Amino acid sequence: MNRKKPMVIALGGNALIRKGQRGTIEEQFDNTRKSMEGILYCLKKGYNIVITHGNGPQVGNLLLMTEACKDRTPELTLGVCVADTEGEIGYMIQQSLTNALRRENTDTCVVTVLTQVVVDKNDKAFSCPTKPIGPFFQKEEAERFQQEKGWDIAEDSHRGYRRVVASPNPLKIIEIQAIKCLLEAGSIVIAAGGGGIPVIIKENGDLEGVDVVIDKDLASGVLARDIHADALVMLTGEENVFLNYKKPNELPLYNITAKEAQRYLNEGHFPPGSMGPKIQAAINFLNWGGSFALITSLDKVREAFEGNAGTKITMD
């Protein structure tokens, strides 16, 4: 039996598509390979790893392709797009990490699990879209799509405008027992990609997909809870979490408590479409018994664990 401490590592969208890139498969594979260093470091630290990942740009692009071909191919639902990209990105991470492990003379098995995540059909989020998907647009272009396609549009952390969709809270993971069994066998598991495939439980007990997306970080927190993870690591485009982000009085945070994080969240420092879910996921995870949460950039994992970068959140 595998007795290593479990850890969930959530890769942000920039793990696959970097700023200024078109997002070709070649670019995504190259970026994915470069993001493996932090995961290898955590493995060497003695953790048993579950990897989650974002898929906002990929889902958005798939929806744009569907729209462009709507007269020739059947329309895809948002839930099916999440499932498609969960498999696509899981493949890229799985192959990249398998190759990296081989170069380290390690034959650990890497497995992708298509993951269904339960949401409440009465969640108020269904009527309040906040989750950004797809590419960034200039304001004029975003307003045109809003008029032509009926999209909900919002500014995303001063980086541009994106389509936003409903994002209900994740409640539980259907495939959790399979994930636990794979971890116990010593495998590295890729799961809950893009927050997982959103489903509701009908009155007769059947599962049914719904046309929303789930925040990847909140789902990662639920996953971390259910596998009794020691740590939740969220890798994003910034080295630290900031107060007053992109303002003249911007202030990086290094070591904070869950109570402080909650106060800053309540004060509006962390937008719901970007850093807000990461902070909420960290708070949830700690309240569920996790040891610590860490938020940093893809290239600062080692420095963050050594206390020289990143934002570490603990109960005390």
Token couple for 58: 């990929």
Q: Single out the residue of 77, 78, 125, 99 nearest to residue 32, CA to CA.
A: 99
Catalytic residue chosen out of the listed positions 60, 216, 240, 300: 216
Catalytic residue chosen out of the listed positions 48, 61, 131, 193: 131
Radius of gyration of the chain (CA): 19
* pLDDT of the residue at 221: 98
Catalytic residue chosen out of the listed positions 169, 194, 278, 310: 278
Residue 180 is a catalytic residue: no
Q: In angstroms, rounded to a whole number, what is the distance separating the alpha carbons of residues 153 and 132?
A: 8
Residue 204 is a catalytic residue: no
As a 3-state breakdown, the chain gives helix, strand, coil percent values, each rounded to 5, of 40, 25, 35
Positions of the chain with pLDDT lower than 70, given as ranges: 1-3, 157, 273
Q: In angstroms, rounded to a whole number, what is the distance separating the alpha carbons of residues 284 and 226?
A: 12
Residue 311 host element (H or E): strand 311-314
Catalytic residue chosen out of the listed positions 13, 54, 221, 290: 13
* pLDDT of the residue at 157: 66
Catalytic residue chosen out of the listed positions 14, 31, 55, 240: 14
Can you list the domains of the chain with their CATH numbers?
A: 5-117+168-314 (3.40.1160.10), 131-165 (no CATH)
Q: Reduce the DSSP state of residue 6 to 3 states and report it.
A: strand
Q: Which residues contact 263 (CB under 8 A, 6 or more apart)?
A: none
Q: In angstroms, rounded to a whole number, what is the distance separating the alpha carbons of residues 183 and 51?
A: 12
Token couple for 193: 């990609």
Q: 222, 170 in Cβ contact below 8 A?
A: yes
Long-range contacts of 91-94, Cβ-Cβ distance < 8 Å, separation of 24 or more = 92/16, 92/28, 92/29, 92/32, 93/11, 93/32, 93/51, 93/53, 93/190, 94/190
Residue 216 is a catalytic residue: yes
Within 10 angstroms of residue 221's Cβ, the number of other Cβ atoms is: 31
Query: Could you tell me the pTM of the whole model?
Result: 0.91
Q: What is the pLDDT of residues 285-295, one digit of tens each?
A: 999 999 999 99
* pLDDT of the residue at 64: 82
Residue 253 host element (H or E): strand 251-253
Residue 4 is a catalytic residue: no
Q: 91, 112 in Cβ contact below 8 A?
A: yes
Q: In angstroms, rounded to a whole number, what is the distance separating the alpha carbons of residues 212 and 262?
A: 26
